[in-house]
Structure 1
């Protein structure tokens, strides 16, 4: 009797509290709906990210074991001779495809599928607002994308860092290194995904949206390859001791050479191929005629890599935020 009385006397607040403890951290409401609808894609992305990180950790251990034979962290000369860079190249190519694959298969269909099948109309008939539904879709999706890409990028950066300054392994300013480490993979993937969502919202057809998103992702990669070098501050060094023999000015280890030119007595620059005559005497005559006195070399030091990556990523994230705002504003009145 006392047990029944005690149970009956339990307050509603206590019952809800007890139920909340029982549920733990389970999703509810709109978050649960979005997760359940796209759980296959989310779990696939999370699992693929976990496997990739595990492979990177294993490969880094193999690399460190090899480098320790050459005195790592103070590496002796000759370590590049038998260094196996194929695993780094393979994973960097995989990371280069990451924004394209995720943008096409997650971003493109995210809203296009709901609009094509009529699910968006069903959601619109419920009590939740369109903006809340769109914001939750974008929020949950971008959270999963950020977690996966950030983990993979951090692991790759950690793997590559012991040999980053060696151009033999990977040129840091190329897509293989620059776009696979730091914040760049996250920013590129987010921009591709959110743009894919916007494309799907406007086209309202899943397959067409995926194809157009693919085109955008490829175009973005091409445009980014031209912008990448301009993110840094080019440093110029000159010499005035002639151009015969080893007279080029020294540049720091790991520096990326942007351009090399001949320096004339008047301070003008001419292309180093301008005096590439058929014979040595013809070349020397050209050098004397142009009054060439030395070299001018433009380069980017590897010390700028981090600042260049964060500057470029901030530009990409601003564009992403602008497209996300467009999705919310457009979808508020014109979604269905």
Structure 2
């Protein structure tokens, strides 16, 4: 290792070390907590629990029966926050500190081109970001598997699972790095660039969470049933909370027009009002990957555009 790559390593080794310590701590906590989770499952305490979203209770007391998934959720929150943390503490100072201190002039005076100066720093940061975020996502998936989609565990559509696992974690982290790097190049003061990175990456993270709740990018499926028999159990589906009755013309109307459970009363009410079926809207468990790949495309596209903008602006700003 020599030249600009050696300098990039010297400048980033503390952050790389912090990332390695964070990953080590996550693995240790996951191994300990998952072992206890498996012991609880093998004890037979949860054998009477049905799959699906309905809460499982203790037979003797009726109190909720849950696995200890608190630490798992904290890891999910960390994975969701990665683009913000990386953008603020890694991306913004990546070029911004050299610009603010003027040390980039000394580097360029050694025969290093602007492109090489940027490429070595960004490549090292990006490789470490991908490795760290990918391994944290893998740790989450391994830890989550015994409790996945169970009433006593964590369902795929809960935000810590949906946004804190899978390939979108890696691409989101890269987006945070790209956003912070561009802002560090544009803004002369590192602290100002860090503040702007916090606002930008935080806003995009919250916006994507909103699109999940609104089903804006991955629309729900509509499920129908006749009403004379109980409708299929919700199971692992993610309900929108939108359900009701369907007329002959296909119009959806309020369920309270026939507020009866399945059976003769409901069938009679539906016939009297001209309803031919009832419906509810939900995303099936398979849509986990639809959400994942949609977020990956959106965040990956943003990361690419921001990196390209940084490269184009490099000659004007440095």
Report if TM-score (shorter chain) is over 0.5.
Answer: yes
2:223 aligned to which of 227, 233, 237 = 237
Residue matched to 1:70: 44
The answer to whether 1:197 aligns with 2:150 is no
- Where 1:173 maps in the other structure, the secondary structure is coil
Change beyond 3 A, Cα 1:30–1:49:
same
- Name the Cα RMSD after superposition: 2.6
Does structure 1 conserve the Cα–Cα contact (< 8 Å) formed by 2:224 and 2:280? Answer: yes
1:309 aligned to which of 292, 300, 303 = 292
Residue matched to 1:118: 102
Residue correspondence of structure 1 range 180-191 to structure 2 within 5 A: 180-191=164-175
Residue correspondence of structure 1 range 260-299 to structure 2 within 5 A: 260-272=243-255, 291-299=274-282
- Where 2:280 maps in the other structure, the secondary structure is strand
1:257 aligned to which of 235, 239, 255 = 239
TM-score (norm: length of structure 1): 0.80
Does structure 2 conserve the Cα–Cα contact (< 8 Å) formed by 1:256 and 1:301? Answer: yes
In structure 1, distance between residues paired with 2:9 and 2:38: 40
Residue matched to 2:120: 136
TM-score (norm: length of structure 2): 0.84
In structure 1, distance between residues paired with 2:251 and 2:304: 45
Higher gyration radius (CA): 1
- Matched positions, count: 296
Tell which deviates more after alignment, 76-85 or 29-38. Answer: 76-85
> After TM superposition, which residue ranges in structure 1, 4 or more long, deviate above 4 angstroms?
273-276, 283-290
The offset of 1:330, in angstroms, is 1.1
Per-residue Cα deviation, 1:262-288 (whole angstroms, up to 9, x for no partner): 222432102336778xxxxxx999978
Residue correspondence of structure 1 range 81-230 to structure 2 within 5 A: 81-228=65-212, 229-230=215-216
Residue matched to 2:7: 33
Per-residue Cα deviation, 1:30-68 (whole angstroms, up to 9, x for no partner): 211101012111211121122112211221121112112
The offset of 1:141, in angstroms, is 0.3
- Where 1:263 maps in the other structure, the secondary structure is strand
The answer to whether 1:320 aligns with 2:294 is no
Unpaired stretches in structure 1, ≥5 consecutive residues: 1-26, 277-282
- Where 1:270 maps in the other structure, the secondary structure is strand
In structure 2, distance between residues paired with 1:273 and 1:107: 53
The offset of 1:290, in angstroms, is 5.2
Change beyond 3 A, Cα 1:151–1:256:
same
The offset of 1:178, in angstroms, is 0.6
In structure 1, distance between residues paired with 2:13 and 2:111: 23
